[in-house]
């Protein structure tokens, strides 16, 4: 398994995926820095108070994180889909799987190597953007590490689904399904909030179940919670928390521990089912 994980990281480095991600990180952080600097400068020139600026920056950061979560979903899909599926389609897998190793070892090794790269990208890019934003605006989110942790979790959910699908489906289909699932998961999260706000019980239940089936959106709430300033939470909780939760860019509470535990179990289960299927598949 470790051999395959190392091979995967080496592949992503040699095929310039890591360098492209590093380049994108620098570019995106530079754009964030420039944009925030302009916004903060204009606001200060306008006489906006520091408190207002900090709240504004916090919301911009959440929007940037949302964009970044989408980029991460795409990255996870592009890295995960061909990890097994591509090797099967090209024939590279035949020589590897004829060696004395279990197919599930190949699957887990591919997952581990891809996960290492995706998490490293998430952490470096995310923390760098937050550090730059803090330096420019003076506002630092309450728990950037928690936000990055949940952002990484979300990316791992996407990676797991894509890689698992790639072991039984053509890689292009696996990638497409995972991206659609990401979108649907986010929609389900929005609908769950709306249903809760307006008391639509059935819709709420369906949306809640789908959130557990694909825990991507639930983890996204953890990202927002880590970035949301306490003042905004205080105001939202004081007024109408039900309505605040209907907004996909607000989270008044962090994801519950059972949900976080379930997300980890979900990753294990999906890999387990994929491994079971992959072992029995004819190549």
Partner 1 sequence: MSSPAIELDGITKTYGRTTALDGLNLRVGRGELVGLLGPNGAGKTTAIKLVLGLVHPTRGSGRVLGAPLGDRAARARIGYLPELFRYQTWLRAREVLILHAELAGMAPGGRPSAADEALDRVGLTERAGDPVSGFSKGMQQRLGLGVALLGQPDLILLDEPTSALDPIGRTHVRAIVRAARDRGATVILNSHLLTEVERVCDRVVILHRGRTIAAGPLDEVVAADGVRLRVSNLDAAGNAALARFGPVSVDGEWHSIRPLDASRIPEVVAGIVAAGGRVHAVEPGPGSLEARFLELVTEPSEEIR
Give the span between the Cα atoms of 204 and 188, in whole angstroms: 9
Letters for 47-86 (x = contact with partner 1 by CB under 8 A, - = none) are ----------------------------------------
Give the span between the Cα atoms of 80 and 17, in whole angstroms: 12
Helix intervals (H) in 91-200: 92-97, 103-137, 144-166, 171-198
Angle between helix 144-166 and helix 216-227 axes, rounded to 10 deg: 160
Choose, by CB under 8 A, the member of 50, 52, 63, 102 that binds partner 1.
102
DSSP structural state of residue 253: S
Interface stretch with partner 1, choices 6-14, 67-75, 127-135, 242-250 (CB under 8 A): 6-14
20 binds partner 1 (CB under 8 A): no
Report how far Cα 33 is from the mean position of its chain's Cα atoms. 22
15 binds partner 1 (CB under 8 A): yes
245 binds partner 1 (CB under 8 A): no
Q: Are the CB atoms for 28 and 129 separated by under 8 Å?
A: yes
Q: Which residues contact 44 (CB under 8 A, 6 or more apart)?
A: 53
97 binds partner 1 (CB under 8 A): yes
For partner 1, the closer CB: 230 or 280: 280
For partner 1, the closer CB: 14 or 205: 14
Q: How many angstroms separate the most distant Cα atoms in the chain? A: 70
46 binds partner 1 (CB under 8 A): no
Choose, by CB under 8 A, the member of 34, 54, 92, 261 that binds partner 1.
92
The tokens 């940037």 sit on which residue? Answer: 64
The SS3 assignment for 262 reads helix
Neighbouring C-alpha atoms within 13 Å toward the C-beta of 198: 9
Choose, by CB under 8 A, the member of 41, 49, 90, 135 that binds partner 1.
90
For partner 1, the closer CB: 17 or 158: 17
For partner 1, the closer CB: 20 or 94: 94
9 binds partner 1 (CB under 8 A): no
Nearest to 103 by CA among 89, 84, 77, 78: 84
For partner 1, the closer CB: 85 or 229: 85
Min separation Cβ 8 and partner 1, Å: 11
Give the span between the Cα atoms of 22 and 49, in whole angstroms: 36
Interface stretch with partner 1, choices 59-67, 94-102, 177-185, 219-227 (CB under 8 A): 94-102
Interface stretch with partner 1, choices 7-15, 130-138, 257-265, 267-275 (CB under 8 A): 7-15
3 binds partner 1 (CB under 8 A): yes
The length of the chain in residues reads 283
Which residues contact partner 1 (rule: CB under 8 A)?
3, 7, 11, 14-15, 90-92, 94-102, 280, 282-283
């Amino acid at each position: 398994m470790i051999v395959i994980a190392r091979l995967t990281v080496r592949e992503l480095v040699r095929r310039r995926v890591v360098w492209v991600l590093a380049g994108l990180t620098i570019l995106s952080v530079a754009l964030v820095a420039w944009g925030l600097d302009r916004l903060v400068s204009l606001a200060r020139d306008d006489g906006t108070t520091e408190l207002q600026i900090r709240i504004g920056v916090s919301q911009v950061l959440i929007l940037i994180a949302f964009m970044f979560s989408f980029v991460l979903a795409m990255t996870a899909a592009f890295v995960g889909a061909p990890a097994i599926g591509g090797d099967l389609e090209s024939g590279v897998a035949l020589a590897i799987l004829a060696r004395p190793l279990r197919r599930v070892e190949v699957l887990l090794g591919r997952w581990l190597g891809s996960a290492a790269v995706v998490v490293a990208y998430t952490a470096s890019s995310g923390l760098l953007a937050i550090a730059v934003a803090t330096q420019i605006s003076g506002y630092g989110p309450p728990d950037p590490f928690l936000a990055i942790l949940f952002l990484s979790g979300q990316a791992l959910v996407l990676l797991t689904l894509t890689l698992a699908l790639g072991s039984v489906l053509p890689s292009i289909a696996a990638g497409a399904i995972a991206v659609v699932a990401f979108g649907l998961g986010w929609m389900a999260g929005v609908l769950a909030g709306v249903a809760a706000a307006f008391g639509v019980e059935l819709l709420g239940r369906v949306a809640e179940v789908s959130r557990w089936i694909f825990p991507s959106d639930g983890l996204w709430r953890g990202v927002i919670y880590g970035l949301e300033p306490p003042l905004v939470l205080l105001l939202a909780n004081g007024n109408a928390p039900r309505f605040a939760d209907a907004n996909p860019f607000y989270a008044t509470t962090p994801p519950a521990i059972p949900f976080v535990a379930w997300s980890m179990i979900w990753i294990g289960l999906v890999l387990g089912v994929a491994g079971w299927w992959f072992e029995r598949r004819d190549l």
